[in-house]
């Protein structure tokens, strides 16, 4: 069996790579045709277009690798079915279920590869692609220039502090801003209204500061300071200058930190929580589609292998559609973030496992 396992695994990997390269190339070509107006409108050179799709490549692979795995399973096991090699193996006493081991092994490997590659490659490349679009193709001003005239900034800091800043300059000066400290009940415990604060010696120093303290009953105590070292503000000018990236461009560690800060400030973070759980649940899609594809490829012996391939692809796209639908429900607070991310895996994974266990019956 070790020889058969090595052969099947080698064929699965080979066809998965070929299929992934093919579907990703088709996907990128279709995207290129759709983006031609965008590129020509911004007079983008050929080199920038190539760099653009180099950065877009990991996201495309991440999206389409489950399809390539289904194709590989049907190609390899479909050939065994078409050539009646399965009958010969069964006659030799080899269980059909035992033959699924290489495919399941490939599916398990895809889980680990996705988790590592998504964190180390896909997410950083998404950020670089976004920067390429904004600063090199669309020729927008860089973040350093934008921050020099930033106004009306809303910022959620550490430990539940909420800032509203009328004017922020890149040289470390804030004017006409407020800082609210929130308790565990999300009620304001302290509030600082500051005319101006300057960053020097690794601290913020405020001028004309009004400090308001609120007790549990909501009573207010007001203290005025002509000048005050604002130890309550632990953020640096660089922290205020940085603009939060979209969730698909944020590392998992930074995403967890952001969710915690926003929750303490009472903000809605449903979309971010869904994305967090989705990053782990999506890693299993390769394993699930393999479990779906294997029993279909070996049981449709009297029908066309292409029919089974089409059926497997249909179920895979239905699985992907269920994931997107479930995500929408989670973002809309219809179901919890964790449930919306894992529900499609539970449903399709259970069905796939049942199909696999029934192949010898």
Q: Residues 213-235: pLDDT tens digits?
A: 988 777 889 999 999 998 888 88
- Burial class (CB within 10 angstroms; exposed 0-12, middle 13-18, buried 19+) of 203: middle
Residue 16 has pLDDT above 50, yes or no: yes
Q: Which residue has tokens 């308001």?
A: 212
Round to whole Å and give the CA distance between 277 and 269. 13
Indicate whether 127 and 50 sit together in one domain: yes
Identify the pLDDT of residue 305: 59
Q: Do 320 and 171 belong to one domain?
A: no
Q: Are residues 15 and 109 in the same domain?
A: yes
What tens digit of pLDDT does each residue of 67-95 get?
889 888 888 887 787 777 777 777 777 77
The whole-angstrom separation of Cα 104 and Cα 109 is: 9
Position 206 in a domain: yes
26 and 121 share one domain = yes
Confidence of residue 28 (pLDDT cuts 50, 70, 90): very high
Tell me if 64 is assigned to some domain: yes
The reply to whether 225 and 285 lie within a common domain is: no
Both 169 and 276 in one domain: the answer is: no
pTM here is 0.77
In a shared domain, residues 6 and 134: yes
The token pair that represents 137 in the structure block: 């193709």
- Give the span between the Cα atoms of 98 and 201, in whole angstroms: 68
| Cβ atoms of residues 296 and 314 within 8 Å | no
- Same-domain pairing of 179 and 327: no
Tokens 């398990």 belong to 108
End-to-end CA distance of the chain: 21
What is the pLDDT, as a whole number, of residue 148?
Answer: 55
Full residue range of the structural domain in which residue 334 is found: 2-139+269-357
The pLDDT-based confidence of 147 (bands split at 50, 70, 90) is very low
CA distances in angstroms from 156 to 5, 169, 204, 237, listed in the order given: 54, 18, 17, 14
**Residue 187 scores a pLDDT above 90:** no
* Residues 283, 217 share a domain: no
Q: Does residue 134 share a domain with residue 76?
A: yes
């Amino acid at each position: 069996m070790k020889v058969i396992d090595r052969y099947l695994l080698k064929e699965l990997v080979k066809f998965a790579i070929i299929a992934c390269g093919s579907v990703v190339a088709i996907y990128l070509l279709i995207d290129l045709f759709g983006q031609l107006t965008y590129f020509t409108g911004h007079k983008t050179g050929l080199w920038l277009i190539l760099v653009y799709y180099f950065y877009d490549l990991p996201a495309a692979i991440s999206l389409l690798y489950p399809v390539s795995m289904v194709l590989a399973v049907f190609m390899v096991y479909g050939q065994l079915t078409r050539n009646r090699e399965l009958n010969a193996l069964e006659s030799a006493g080899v269980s059909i279920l035992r033959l699924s081991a290489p495919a399941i092994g490939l599916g398990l490997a895809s889980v680990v590869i996705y988790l590592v590659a998504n964190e180390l490659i896909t997410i950083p490349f998404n950020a670089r692609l976004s920067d390429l679009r904004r600063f090199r193709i669309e020729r927008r001003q860089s973040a350093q220039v934008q921050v020099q005239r930033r106004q009306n900034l809303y910022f959620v800091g550490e430990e539940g502090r909420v800032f509203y800043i009328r004017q922020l300059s890149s040289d470390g000066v804030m004017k006409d801003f407020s800082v609210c400290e929130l308790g565990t009940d999300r009620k304001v415990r302290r509030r600082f209204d500051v005319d101006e604060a300057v960053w020097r010696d690794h601290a913020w120093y405020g001028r004309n500061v009004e400090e308001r303290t609120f007790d549990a009953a909501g009573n207010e105590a007001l203290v005025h300071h002509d000048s005050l070292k604002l130890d309550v503000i632990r953020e640096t000018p660089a922290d205020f200058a940085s603009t939060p990236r979209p969730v698909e461009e944020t590392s998992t560690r930074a995403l967890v930190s952001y969710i915690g800060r926003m929750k303490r400030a009472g903000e809605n973070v449903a979309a971010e929580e869904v994305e967090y759980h989705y990053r782990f649940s999506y890693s299993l899609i390769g394993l699930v589609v393999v479990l779906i594809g294997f029993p279909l490829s070996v049981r449709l012996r009297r029908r066309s292998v292409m029919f089974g391939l089409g059926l497997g692809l249909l179920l895979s796209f239905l699985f992907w559609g269920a994931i997107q639908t479930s995500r929408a429900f989670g973002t809309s607070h219809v179901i919890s973030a964790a449930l919306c991310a894992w529900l499609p895996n539970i449903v399709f994974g259970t069905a796939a496992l049942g199909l696999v266990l029934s192949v010898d019956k």
